[in-house]
Structure 1
Amino acid sequence: MAVVTPPVPAPARTTSPARRPRSLLPLNLVSVAAGVGLWWALAAAGLQFPTPAEVAVQAGRMAADGTLLDDAVASLLRVLTGFVLGSAAAIVVGFLMGWYAVARGLFEPWIQFFRTIPPLAMLPLVLVLLGIDETPKVFVIFLAAFLSCVISTYQGVVSVERTLINAARVLGAGDATVFARVVVPASTPFILVGMRVGLGAAWATLVAAELLAAQEGLGHRMQTAQLYYDLPTIFVGIVSIGVLGLLMDRALLLGGNRLTRWQETR
């Protein structure tokens, strides 16, 4: 007589601590507090730093007379314009390079060539060719964002698993459907990483871009303050650029998380 062994219940699935969702906000607050405390300690130790209180007072003065708002808006518009145009162009060129071998052969040498040239090195040429209005400032930021994002987009397209593309073709999908339903979603995480890097490059280029005969902007204000050794104003500009860049990066990250909900997270 055969003995029937009762089925062994599967072990309860446990959630790894690394996968357990948790808020990083307390750690962020601790990190910020520690950074401000270190800044205060360095200023108290005799380094030529203004204290956080002095910077806050100067920021209040600049906010009261409207200088800080005008400069922040001017810089933000330049960065947004250059970043949006640069990212859009990078996505188009990156998809073309990844999808068509002909486009890859035509574009890749020039992209690699210009990637070795810092965008700031283009300032004299841009100034001569485009004048001293807003166009050269936006163009330099555009170039920084484009070169930072295009390679990531291209890498995303060529990294799409061939199995997914073949499976879509077996199911009868044409090139357009494969591109829209397989390649674009699979490349989105790479594109978002490239855009975040491009956003950082855009803000990093801002101060130099505003050297081109700018009348307002955070970079322009910092350059003017340098002439008078006005350290609190310089620090106000640094903190403002950092805060605006951080907020834009968080917004981009939040939008990216919504677009890639399907992606497995770790």
Structure 2
Amino acid sequence: MSSTETPLKQAGPVLEDAVPTRVRRRKRPPVPAVVLNLIALAAGIGLWAWLASLGVQALPGPAAVAGRAGELIADGTLAEDSLASLRRVLGGFALGTLLAVPVGFLMGWYPVARGLLEPYVQFFRTVPPLAMIPLAIVLLGIGEVPKVFVIFLAAFLSSVVAAFQGVVGVDRTLIDAARVLGARDGSIFLKVVVPASAPFILVGMRIGLGSAWGTLVAAELIAAQEGLGHRMQNAQLYYDLPTIFVGLITIGLLGLLMDRLLMLAERRLTRWQETR
């Protein structure tokens, strides 16, 4: 036996012993996402309670906020405010999405429409929707219309770019193949471009939904008589921190629920897409 074979034979058992260990580590089942979410929630509440116990900026603890939430639920105030805010967000978000999708498609499919519309879209994207509140009050009054308009603008500007990018990003090979097979532009648009753009549109809708909820509190500055933002603004005047926290948590929970519904729709509508 040569001296060169000895180290290889000696290394053989070591390698054989090491491979099963790595395989076993890879096969270890991952921690379910629900468990991780619950751990994060418990850690967040624990940190919140600890900071409140230290008296950080008179921060109310979880028990005080839960008690205030119970009072608002018992007298029906929280339900009325939540419904009012939901109505405004859903109205503005639905209108913004319904307009953003066709405008994005026009910009992506027709160069002339892109040249005409893109400067306005990019211009208004640089103007915060909240800066439109004074103009909305002057032109539309102080009723529900200006509130919905400001939310609509935030959702529209977030969704239109996603729809546009979805059309522009469609693989040209698919379009050329459809044309070779004799498909006309209308058929190509409906059967190739629209399905291929669906993931972009849904992501844009999720971003638009977040923008709509992010604009809600400012929109309810416009002489609102009910709503979560209105309730939080009134609580600010009396330094009622538990009520402010109840409003914040309610907005977060409602936004999270609507986002999860959009994610569910995204999974169902884009099953054909490759997943990692």
Is 1:159 the equivalent of 2:169?
yes
Q: How many Å apart are 1:23 and its aligned residue?
A: 4.0
1:24 alignment partner in structure 2: 33
Amino acid at match of 1:40: A
Cα distance per residue 1:26-83 (max 9 Å; x no partner) = 1111111111111111111221211011101000000000000000000001000000
2:92 alignment partner in structure 1: 82
Q: Which runs of 5+ in 2 are unaligned?
A: 1-22
Q: Higher helix fraction: Structure 1 or Structure 2?
A: 2
Amino acid at match of 1:35: G
Amino acid at match of 2:196: A
CA RMSD of aligned residues (A): 1.5
State which structure, 1 or 2, has the greater radius of gyration over its C-alpha atoms: 2
Is 1:218 the equivalent of 2:228?
yes
2:157 alignment partner in structure 1: 147
- TM-score, length-normalised on structure 1? 0.92
Is 1:100 the equivalent of 2:110?
yes
Following superposition, which runs of at least 4 residues in structure 1 exceed 6 angstroms of deviation?
Answer: none
Amino acid at match of 2:144: E
1:172 alignment partner in structure 2: 182
* C-alpha separation in 1, matches of 2:51 and 2:211: 28
* C-alpha separation in 1, matches of 2:94 and 2:83: 16
Report the CA distance shift for 1:150/1:26 in structure 2 as closer, same or farther (over 3 A). Answer: same
Q: How many Å apart are 1:201 and its aligned residue?
A: 0.3
Cα distance per residue 1:112-169 (max 9 Å; x no partner) = 0000000000000100100011000000000000000100110010000100000111
The alignment partner of 1:213 has SS state of coil
The alignment partner of 1:87 has SS state of helix
Amino acid at match of 2:48: W
* C-alpha separation in 1, matches of 2:249 and 2:212: 16
* C-alpha separation in 2, matches of 1:221 and 1:243: 16
1:262 alignment partner in structure 2: 272
Is 1:36 the equivalent of 2:45?
yes
1:10 alignment partner in structure 2: none
The alignment of Structure 1 onto Structure 2 pairs a total of residues equal to: 250
Task: State which of 222, 230, 250 in structure 2 corresponds to 1:240.
Answer: 250
2:72 alignment partner in structure 1: 62
* C-alpha separation in 2, matches of 1:156 and 1:37: 42
Identity %: 69
Task: State which of 122, 128, 137 in structure 2 corresponds to 1:127.
Answer: 137
- TM-score, length-normalised on structure 2? 0.88
